[in-house]
Structure 1
């Protein structure tokens, strides 16, 4: 009887305390690059951060920075409208902010949209004068146009000209009934990464990363990644909201195709960094090295980070969280 109790106790510990302790140990001193962060206005009904400042936008920003510190986030690729992307870019050098495109005037999260589509001259002026270092997330499938729409041509040109990492929504996304009210022309078929081929023929060095790999269009994503070595991907949202039996076989396909060194970490939905880290940690057929590559090394290569910045990132995560805020 005693042996049975001991066995049960060990089993419980191995699936709770031990696993948690192992994850904490694994993440200690591990720098993380988050390739998918949404920059938006603050919401007064959000109890996570609404007591942190009387200005709700500043409150959300403060909480976000504290969360970066807590989770060893040394670099964030974040997209938003002109107002909030500018605010976040100036607040913390870790945030490589840029414009979502197009900005959807019917969607609360995108408010305020000064323009749906910027012209080439406007985009060039913005990227010359603001501290913007990325572009995306692309939202053209939600707006109901393909990536080859003429109004988007300026974005591809400026991204190429400024050598910007550009995040592309590349999964069919939520069921139509969930998004149709704010996105009346929503067309999930336009998220197919195969549709990027004409753009890549014109700008073959365009630095694209495919968001939400692992569900529909995974095969198309793999094919275009095989053709263009600078295209990377991440598995945010798909790995949280879909059963593992759907996305994990596609992730295996990525590694079997020799493309696992192009998988990066992204959190996407606000406040889900820890959930996304747990997902990566619990992929038991990946080695520790492969997991660390996902969390940092692959993105550092994709972003062409200089060696001195990489060294700084590794040193920064050894410091107490307060040191990042000084």
Structure 2
């Protein structure tokens, strides 16, 4: 059995890494069934390009195709249901891994499902966790069982932190408050849970100073720049990323696209990092690949590793 599993791992590494000059790991992907943006055919907010899918099934197929074309050798899908995540993962199980989306204070049943999926090998990350849209702060005591479980299972937990979409309070999330996304509110959580692996999604944008302070004090904190790296203006992205690099956090920045309903967003985000003149090739490789391999403890991508 051990030899069989090693062979399968080697096969997966070859199939996803073959012909990829610059391997990329995207830790911030979403799946859907129904979404009003499909119905309204909302253009891509970063490029202005048209919506290219009409439903969740099309979105899954187009996302997988976009990842392959962009050289993404591994992606973590934490969408709006386990069923839609599993559907997308089934399209390319060598490439994709499962997250666990949580959009409010988790119930005991959800915590039990996290534990069960982890035991079954179907859970790589808890996230995206986005209780902020329901008016919940990072330091809300009702979240304590979630932090405890993430620390116990040693599964990275990726939490939406920072701003929501412009006008979100008027678009179905009346309890959302920008201030609830300030990463500073994680501090007491991290004090209580020193072994919890935390990914701050969107790097806490636009709370840059508090993100820097938290990363300085707590070395178990990582960030991604999902959505900031393609939907926000390029100068703002560059200011944010370059500041994180200036303060020495290049080993704890992950690549995440947060492609949402626009499969083409992943390639847009990748292009932003490649165009950043302040990143060396080694630093970009850390962000695109090495940092995620180290955080998740992946050993099944040897064909991608190469130098560095």
* TM-score clears 0.5: yes
- Which residue of the partner structure matches residue 28 of structure 2? 36
**Pair member with larger Rg:** 1
Instruction: Give, in angstroms, the shift of residue 62 of structure 1.
Output: 2.2
Task: Render the CA deviation track for 1:199-238: whole Å, top value 9, x for unaligned.
Answer: 1112112111111127421111111111222211122222
Instruction: Kindly provide the CA deviation profile for residues 3-35 of structure 1, in whole angstroms up to 9, marking residues without a partner as x.
Output: xxxxxxxxxxxxxxxxxxxxxxxx952111001
Shift in Å, 1:58: 3.6
- Aligned residue for 2:136, secondary structure, equals coil
Q: Which residue of 2 aligns with 1:118?
A: 107
Residues 1:277 and 2:270 aligned together: yes
CA gap 1:123/1:304 in 2 versus in 1, 3 angstroms: closer
> Among 283, 288, 291, which residue is 1:290 paired with?
283
Do the aligned residues in 2 keep the contact of 1:210 with 1:231 (CA within 8 Å)? Answer: yes
Instruction: Specify the alignment match of 1:200 in structure 2.
Output: 190
1 CA distance for matches of 2:97 and 2:143?
21
Pairs within 5 Å for 1:173-322: 173-175=164-166, 177-213=167-203, 215-269=205-259, 270-271=262-263, 272-306=265-299, 309-313=300-304
Instruction: Give the CA deviation at 1:122.
Output: 4.5
RMSD: 2.5
Number of equivalences: 269
Gaps of 5+ in 2: 1-18, 42-50
Q: Secondary structure at the match of 1:237?
A: coil
Query: Would the alpha carbon gap of residues 136 and 247 (structure 1) be closer, same or farther in structure 2, given more than 3 Å must change?
Result: same
2:159 to 152, 156, 168: 168
Q: Deviations over 1:159-193 (max 9, x none)?
A: 22221121122222323x24433111111111111
| Contact 2:100–2:114 (Cα < 8 Å) also in 1 | no
User: Any conservation in 1 of the 2:161–2:204 contact (CA below 8 Å)?
Assistant: no
- The gaps in structure 1 that reach 5 residues or longer are 1-26, 51-55, 104-115, 316-326
Deviation, 1:131, is: 1.0
Give the TM-score normalised by the residue count of structure 1: 0.74
SS of structure 2 residue aligned to 1:216: coil
**Structure 1 Cα separation of the partners of residues 71 and 237 of structure 2:** 26
Superposition pairs of residues 90-105 of structure 1, within 5 angstroms: 90-91=90-91, 92-102=93-103
Q: Residues 28-53 of structure 1: CA distance to partner in whole angstroms, max 9, x if unpaired?
A: 52111001111221567566345xxx
Alpha-carbon spacing, 1:172–1:61, altered in 2? closer, same or farther (3 Å): closer
Structure 1: which 4+ aligned runs deviate by more than 4 Å? 42-47
The residue aligned with 2:52 is 48
More moved, 141-150 vs 36-45: 36-45
Q: Output the CA distance in 1 between the equivalents of 2:205 and 2:140.
A: 25
2:157 matched to 1:159? no
- The alignment partner of 1:99 has SS state of coil
Mean CA deviation greater in 76-85 or 280-289? 76-85
Shift of 1:57: 4.0
Deviations 1:130-171 (A, max 9, x none): 612211112111110112334322222222222112112222
